[in-house]
Amino acid sequence: MIRRGLQIVRQIGYRASRLLIGGMNMLIPFIAGSRVAGWVLRLIVRKMPKSRRQLIFCPTPLINNKYWAAALKEAGHDAVTLMTHHYAVYKRSDFDLYYDELVEARPAKLLRRFPFFPDLVAFFHVIANAKVVHIPFTGGPLGSTPFWRHECQLYQAAGIKVVVIPYGGDAHMYSAILNTSMRNALLIDYPAAARNERSIRERVDYWASQADCLICGALIYGMSRWDVTTPSPLCLNIAAIEPRRDYSNSDGKGSPVYVVHAPNHRGFKGTEFVIKAVDDLVSEGLNIELILLERVPNDQVMEMLRTKADILVEQLIAGGYALNAIEGMASGVAVLSGLEDQPRKAVFRRYSFAEECPILSTTPETVKQHLRNLVTDPALRQRLGKAGRQYTEKYHSYETAPYLFGSVYEKIVDGRDIDLMNLFHPLKSEFNKRRPRIDHPLVDGLLPAVGATTKS
């Protein structure tokens, strides 16, 4: 009888705790947005012990964060990556710390039933350790919780500076994208974001008004501000990448010329236009092999670029270049990518280093002709490949990242008068002049004999 009574009491207690947790989970979204919640959180943050030494990159597991942190570590900074998880194309060891590792160190099983408990643990880890936190527009650890509207003010209360670096989906407000082909490609691959634009805009407006620094790269559509003018802030460990030295002499009439294309989503990369162009050239008698590397591990992509690729077609739609193009150039491969987005093209050529970029600017209408030019001219492939390697050494290396972020820290942490907007200005930047101007045959991203391309 006593044993049965104890079982009933335990069951009642368990169900009551579940009801309490369920009720709290329903009430918290309403409480979280209140001024009282913000005041309580700020009070907790101010009372927490802080080391304030680390440069933390979080929470979206993009490989860019690994490279930025590694470059800063190499330069002597205490840089750390803190991620929610890792994607299948990368390795768990690519990042330093994960939310689940922080949560496992806590014994409070009851609190783990709250869906955003790991986010709160990660947030307080940042508060306790960060000097600067680097996040996308979706926010840091509080970004996926009802407390996201308080996150920047909480960092300010803790004396932590905030650098926002968008990656794409966090910043694309479709109605603000002037390149309608790019908008169409986004609607093909990411249609849900169009219905979520109000929420995306709310986050962008919040962080744009609050963050200490915005480094937007080419993601400037819809932005009210950016603090560094650069076509791309991405970097790679260029010194660890062995460039091509045995360039193929094939002109497409004997041995094959290998064209690599690595789409994660075909619509956004314009993959159907690449396939059609290669098929047409093959039907004309050129010996071309197209290697599609679709959602394969990154180290396999790098190995293919280093050992086999003659040409890399990155993307034809978006109006900029991303990490894959940098990987191709670092490997010494001739790269084609869509740079004909006029509203963005001019600003990065006038106020940054895009004029030195040796990527052959290519659209769906010109990809066939540009491929023909490169396939039939091995000397041109080699010249663009070597120029690409020099370009990445100058602007996308572990030397460039400490200059970029170091300049940002000097301004927002140390309070020095640093002109971030002209950090890479072709006429004003001392950094640009440290190495010789990249010599390549392109004019405004095009081969002079080819002429202008069709605009998006």
Q: Say if CB 132 and CB 102 are below 8 A apart.
A: no
SS3 call for 131: strand
CA 455 remoteness from chain centre: 25
Residue-by-residue DSSP string for 276-304: HHHHHHHHTT--EEEEE--S--HHHHHHH
Which pLDDT tens digits describe the chain residue by residue (456 residues)?
555 554 554 554 445 445 444 444 444 554 555 555 555 666 666 666 666 789 999 999 999 999 999 999 999 999 999 999 988 888 899 999 999 888 875 545 545 567 788 899 899 999 999 999 999 999 999 999 999 999 999 999 999 999 999 999 999 999 999 999 999 999 999 999 999 999 999 999 999 999 999 999 999 999 999 999 999 999 999 999 999 889 999 999 989 999 999 998 898 899 999 999 999 999 999 999 999 999 888 889 999 999 999 999 999 998 889 999 999 999 999 999 999 887 788 999 999 999 999 999 999 999 999 999 999 999 999 999 999 999 999 999 999 999 999 999 999 999 999 999 999 999 999 999 999 999 999 999 999 864 444 344
Contacts of 256 (CB under 8 A, 6+ apart): 250, 287, 288, 289
For residue 297, give the amino acid letter: P
Q: What single string gives the DSSP state of each residue in 66-77?
A: HHHHHHHHHTT-
Q: Give me the sheet containing 311-313, strands edge to edge.
A: 288-292, 257-261, 311-313, 334-337, 360-361
Tokens of residue 246, six digits: 């045995």
Alpha helices in 94-239 (DSSP H): 99-104, 117-129, 151-157, 180-189, 192-195, 197-210
What pTM does this model have?
0.88
Q: 3-class DSSP state for residue 42?
A: helix
What domains are defined for the chain?
2-214 (no CATH), 242-395 (3.40.50.2000)
Model confidence pLDDT, tens digit, residues 109-156? 545 567 788 899 899 999 999 999 999 999 999 999 999 999 999 999
How far is 392 from 378, CA to CA, in rounded Å? 21
What amino acid is encoded at 354 in this protein? A
Pairwise CA distance, residues 327 & 330, whole Å: 5
- pLDDT, residue 9, reads 43
> Which residues are paired to 161 by β-bridges?
132
pLDDT tens for each residue of 359-415: 999 999 999 999 999 999 999 999 999 999 999 999 999 999 999 999 999 999 999
